[in-house]
Amino acid sequence: AKRVCLSDVKAFHEVFKKSKNIVVLTGAGVSAESGIPTFRGSGGFWRKYQATDLATPTAFKRDPSLVWEFYHYRREVVMAASPNKAHTALAEAERRLTAEGRQFNVVTQNVDGLHLKAGSSNVLELHGSLMKTRCLKCEDVRENRDSPICPALEGRGLPDVNSCSSSIPTEQLPRCQSGSCNGLLRPHVVWFGENLDSGVLAEAERLLSACDLCLVIGTSSVVYPAAAFAPSAAARGIPVAEFNIEESPTVHDLLSFYFKGPCGTTVPEALS
């Protein structure tokens, strides 16, 4: 594939102008400039744990208190965070293109809700949301913005390596508020080894198969099934543009455009 860099933003504008159906795939990097830690690399640690080691059903079964401390901390970070210039540029592009009768959809791996906070409406959350809980007993899913999410987690979840685990008894962890259920709640997110919601996945595949331009912003593109989306678009001959501070090995060879740099700068330029 032809590879172009930041200096060719004009060539990108030509393609962008003509496209009628754009899908934007985002990952943790789009929220990095809002102060949300990414998963991989040096920022991906909470205490001595790699974030990805806590995002598993096994970790939750072994130590629900520890995993809830981790999610409580992240909920508080996200509730205090604001969308950055990349989120805003995507929301503005959606408004502009929709008014022109063009399709503009964000498919995000992020659980932080910042695309919605920025004003995007066409957002598909592949991996769930930090602001939703699910009951292990009755499966009830509901939005929850309580801060703290329960009294026992107040002031807990501090990320520095020397903080010790609180070992909160499960009865004091977040519990189901539906009727008299009182089951243990978990974050309504998709952990490793768990299936994505089948309706959400089908919708993502439908959007990807209908787009005529695909943007990939701030994802290492290593986690499936999302990692297969851009390659599937490229296989149809659709132009794919990546915005990242570093090249993602898994998608780089199929790119039409690569804009290296912080997406808070590169995305507003490209979508202007």
What is the contact surface with ligand BJW in residues (CB under 6 A)?
Answer: 27-29, 32-33, 38-40, 44, 52, 55, 109, 111, 127, 189-195, 218-220, 222-225, 243-246, 248, 262-263
Least distance to Zn ion, CB of residue 17, Å = 50
DSSP label at 151? G
Helix or strand holding residue 14 (H, E): helix 9-18
Sequence length of the chain is 272
| Annotated catalytic residue 127 | yes
Q: Cβ 95 to ligand BJW, closest distance in Å?
A: 22
Least distance between Zn ion and beta carbon 183 (Å): 4
Beta-ladder partners of 32: none
Distance (Å, rounded) from C-alpha 142 to C-alpha 8?
45
Binding partner selected for residue 140 from ligand BJW, Zn ion, none, CB under the kind-specific 5 to 8 Å limit: Zn ion
Residue 148 interface partner, choices Zn ion, ligand BJW, none, CB cut-off 5-8 Å depending on type: none
137 binds, among Zn ion, ligand BJW, none (CB under 5 to 8 A by kind): Zn ion
Q: Which is nearer to ligand BJW, 11 or 223 (CB)?
A: 223
Give the DSSP H or E segment for 116: helix 114-118
Angle, helices 9-18/263-271, rounded to nearest 10 degrees:
50
In the complex, the smallest distance separating the C-beta of residue 193 from Zn ion, rounded to whole angstroms, is: 23
* Nearest CB to ligand BJW, comparing residues 79 and 181: 79
Q: Which of ligand BJW, Zn ion, none sits in contact with 188, Cβ below 5 to 8 A by type? A: none
Which residue, 62 or 169, has its beta carbon nearer to ligand BJW? 62
Q: Which does 33 bind (CB under 5 to 8 A by kind): Zn ion, ligand BJW, none?
A: ligand BJW
Q: Nearest to ligand BJW by Cβ — which residue?
A: 29
Contact residues for Zn ion (CB under 5 A)? 135, 137-138, 140, 176, 178, 181, 183
Please tell me whether the peptide bond between 268 and the residue prior to it is cis, using omega within 30 degrees of 0.
no
- The distance in angstroms from the start CA to the end CA of the chain is 25
* Distance separating alpha carbons of residues 79 and 83, to the nearest angstrom: 11
Distance CA 37, CA 150 (A): 23
Tell me if 93 sits within 8 A of 271, measured CB to CB: yes
Listed residue (183, 154, 141, 179) closest to 73, CA to CA: 154
Which residue number, 11 or 228, has a Cβ lying nearer to ligand BJW?
A: 228
Asked if residue 234 lies in contact with residue 212, where contact means CB atoms within 8 angstroms, the answer is no
Q: Which candidate in 115, 127, 188, 252 is catalytic?
A: 127
The least CB distance from residue 175 to Zn ion, in Å, is: 8
Q: Cite the active site residues.
A: 127
